[in-house]
Chain A
Amino acid sequence: MNDELFRGGFELSPIGMALLTPGGEIERVNPALARMLGYERPESLTGAPFESIAHPGDLARRIGSGNGNGAGGPSEQRYVARDGRVLDVLVATNVVRDEQGKPAALLTQVEDITERRLAERRICELRATLEQQVSQRTSELQAANHELEAFAYSLAHDLRAPLRAIDGFGSALASRHGDTLGTDGQQLLDRMRGASSRMGDLIDSMLLLSELTRRELSYTRIDLSSMARHIAEELASTYPSRQVGLAIEDGLEAYGDASLVRILIGNLLDNAWKFTEHRGGAEVEVARAGEGVFSVADNCAGFNMEFADLLFKPFARLHREDEFPGTGVGLTTAERIALRHGGVLWGEGRPGVGATFYFTLDPATDGERP
């Protein structure tokens, strides 16, 4: 080996290096190793036994333990610095042989990996804490979810039963004691029964809303045009007095859960129909408004865009109950159905001019508002 070249590399290397006698005594260390161990001058270590820098706990497996050549690595070991700090190091040792092939020296290269190990340990600790936090949050969420489900179930069972009693006994009162009640009494009774039936509707629509988040979607290809036509026919027979001009574009198709999409379109059409009440020449249109974007438009009551956010809040209403009756859950339900499919639903309106609601059912068309 070219001595000068070796010496230059030894002195300038950023890697810690030591030359040991075959017996394990330090012959020389380079400045990088001296710095690593906290010595100002490399000469300070010359002549010291290798054991003096090795961690006592690692002595059994230290390099140069007299196993014949002492070569090996790279392996992880611990060194002790001058001030007692324990260093994690990566060590590789070569045997330097003389002309006869007998070991003349051991060349040890040392890389300080203390910081890296520390960072790794921190990452491990963090990961453990994180996993613990995630599982804690998950179980908290699950508990909250179970509570909500129990709440919905209780709504279904326990709140509906008294309503049935109010309506049922009201009906019995009307039929058995109608004469005594008189016209006024009968009317009051009718209003009580009407109220219980509206509350029943409210409970049912809340239940539907809560079911939407739980239920699994079963996807099929849906003919939206014929679905809309069926719903419109039902609406026409529910409100026979309304004269509504209806235009449904042909060939509207989507991919989604048919029974949920039916509720979505049903709610939008029902809304449009409802707001035709105080108006002649009402028109409702179902059409394609872009690639994968569908719209349901009417030319009736409309709404102020300032309050558009309120539309999708459950039980929030933009019109007085005596103007247009309703539960205030229809649009929330429709929006949630679109969201469950990965789509979106939004509305545009002008008071007295009309309202248009747009929806998509496909995440790919998300946000492409015309």
Chain B
Amino acid sequence: MNSSKPILLVEDNPDDRDLTIMALRDANVANQIDLARDGEEALAYFADRSRPLPALVLLDLKLPKIMGLDVLKRLRAEERTRTVPVVVLTSSGEETDRQRSYLNGVNAYVRKPVGFDEFSDAVRELGRFWLVINQPPPLPVP
């Protein structure tokens, strides 16, 4: 179940970055994984219009420079990026973080579990839904 469009992973912690990439590769859900190491890099990624939009954004909340929630707000305010699927992938199980994320238009909120096996399962499910299931139906064959 590959997608030709990349996944953008916005994560500052190198361990978490590698773990997420490992989980994505294990799940075999994307050919290409692009990285942004803070909120600023994430916004610069979208500002470059020559680049195709990613199929999915995995967004950490606690980021240097520009926080995840502000990245999300900016994406939802722009016509071009308004409908890009964004999933918050965070350590925080705080109710306020969850509420604010949904109020600002996130598509899903996932709290990273400590166990890698559960995390891997969660990433596989996310990939399966956003890259495979949630696609426009195929055009009817004329």
Tally the A-B contacts, defined by beta carbons under 8 Å.
60
Stretch from A91-99, A107-115, A164-172, A179-187 forming part of the interface with B = A164-172
B117 sits at the interface (CB 8 A) = yes
A197 contacts B114, CB within 8 Å? Answer: yes
**A274 to B116, alpha carbons, bound, how many Å?**
26
B93 contacts A156, CB within 8 Å? Answer: yes
**A153 to B112, alpha carbons, bound, how many Å?**
15
Q: How far is the CB of A368 from chain B (nearest CB, A)?
A: 34
Q: B93 — which chain A residues lie within 8 A by C-beta?
A: 156, 204, 207
Q: How far is the CB of B125 from chain A (nearest CB, A)?
A: 17
**A151 to B131, alpha carbons, bound, how many Å?**
37
**A119 to B55, alpha carbons, bound, how many Å?**
77
B48 sits at the interface (CB 8 A) = no
Interface size on A (CB < 8 Å)? 26
Query: Considering only CB atoms, which chain B residue lies closest to A163 in the complex?
Result: B114
A164 contacts B117, CB within 8 Å? Answer: no
B19 sits at the interface (CB 8 A) = yes
Out of B16, B117, B120, which one reaches A161, CB within 8 Å?
B16
| Given A168-B15, A172-B22, A197-B114, CB of A161 within 8 Å of CB of B91 | yes
**A171 to B116, alpha carbons, bound, how many Å?**
7
Q: How far is the CB of B59 from chain A (nearest CB, A)?
A: 15
B94 sits at the interface (CB 8 A) = yes
B94 contacts A164, CB within 8 Å? Answer: no
Q: How far is the CB of A165 from chain B (nearest CB, A)?
A: 4
A153 contacts B92, CB within 8 Å? Answer: yes
Q: B117 — which chain A residues lie within 8 A by C-beta?
A: 171
Out of B62, B92, B95, B112, which one reaches A164, CB within 8 Å?
B112
Interface residues of B in 68-102 (CB under 8 A from A): 91-95
Interface residues of B in 26-72 (CB under 8 A from A): 62
Out of A158, A167, A207, A215, which one reaches B114, CB within 8 Å?
A167
B16 contacts A165, CB within 8 Å? Answer: yes
B119 sits at the interface (CB 8 A) = yes
Q: B18 — which chain A residues lie within 8 A by C-beta?
A: 168
B115 sits at the interface (CB 8 A) = yes
**A130 to B24, alpha carbons, bound, how many Å?**
61
B2 sits at the interface (CB 8 A) = no
Interface residues of B in 1-25 (CB under 8 A from A): 13, 15-16, 18-19, 22
Query: Considering only CB atoms, which chain B residue lies closest to A172 in the complex?
Result: B22
In this complex, the interface size class of chain B, counting residues with CB under 8 Å from chain A, is 20 to 34
**A199 to B94, alpha carbons, bound, how many Å?**
19
Q: A160 — which chain B residues lie within 8 A by C-beta?
A: 91, 112, 114
Q: A167 — which chain B residues lie within 8 A by C-beta?
A: 114-116
Q: How far is the CB of A316 from chain B (nearest CB, A)?
A: 24
Q: B95 — which chain A residues lie within 8 A by C-beta?
A: 211, 215
Query: Considering only CB atoms, which chain B residue lies closest to A171 in the complex?
Result: B116
Q: B113 — which chain A residues lie within 8 A by C-beta?
A: 164, 200
Q: How far is the CB of B28 from chain A (nearest CB, A)?
A: 15
Q: A199 — which chain B residues lie within 8 A by C-beta?
A: 114
A161 contacts B13, CB within 8 Å? Answer: yes
Q: B19 — which chain A residues lie within 8 A by C-beta?
A: 164-165, 168-169
B115 contacts A157, CB within 8 Å? Answer: no
**A207 to B115, alpha carbons, bound, how many Å?**
17
Q: A153 — which chain B residues lie within 8 A by C-beta?
A: 92, 94
**A203 to B15, alpha carbons, bound, how many Å?**
19
Interface string of B116-132 (1 = CB under 8 A from A): 11011000000000000
B91 contacts A200, CB within 8 Å? Answer: no
A168 contacts B116, CB within 8 Å? Answer: yes
Query: Considering only CB atoms, which chain A residue lies closest to B14 in the complex?
Result: A165
A162 sits at the interface (CB 8 A) = yes
B114 contacts A157, CB within 8 Å? Answer: no
Among A170, A196, A197, A200, residue most surrounded by chain B Cβ atoms (within 10 Å): A197
Q: A196 — which chain B residues lie within 8 A by C-beta?
A: 114
A165 contacts B15, CB within 8 Å? Answer: yes
**A72 to B111, alpha carbons, bound, how many Å?**
79
| Given A156-B92, A207-B93, CB of A170 within 8 Å of CB of B116 | yes
Binding site for B on A (CB under 8 A): 153, 156-158, 160-165, 167-172, 193, 196-197, 199-200, 203-204, 207, 211, 215
Which are the 7 A-B pairs with shortest beta-carbon distances? A200-B114, A165-B15, A168-B19, A168-B116, A171-B116, A157-B91, A167-B116
Having A167-B114, A199-B114, A200-B114, one finds 13 other A-B pairs with CB under 8 Å, namely A158-B91, A160-B114, A164-B15, A164-B91, A164-B116, A165-B19, A168-B119, A171-B116, A171-B120, A200-B113, A200-B115, A204-B93, A215-B95
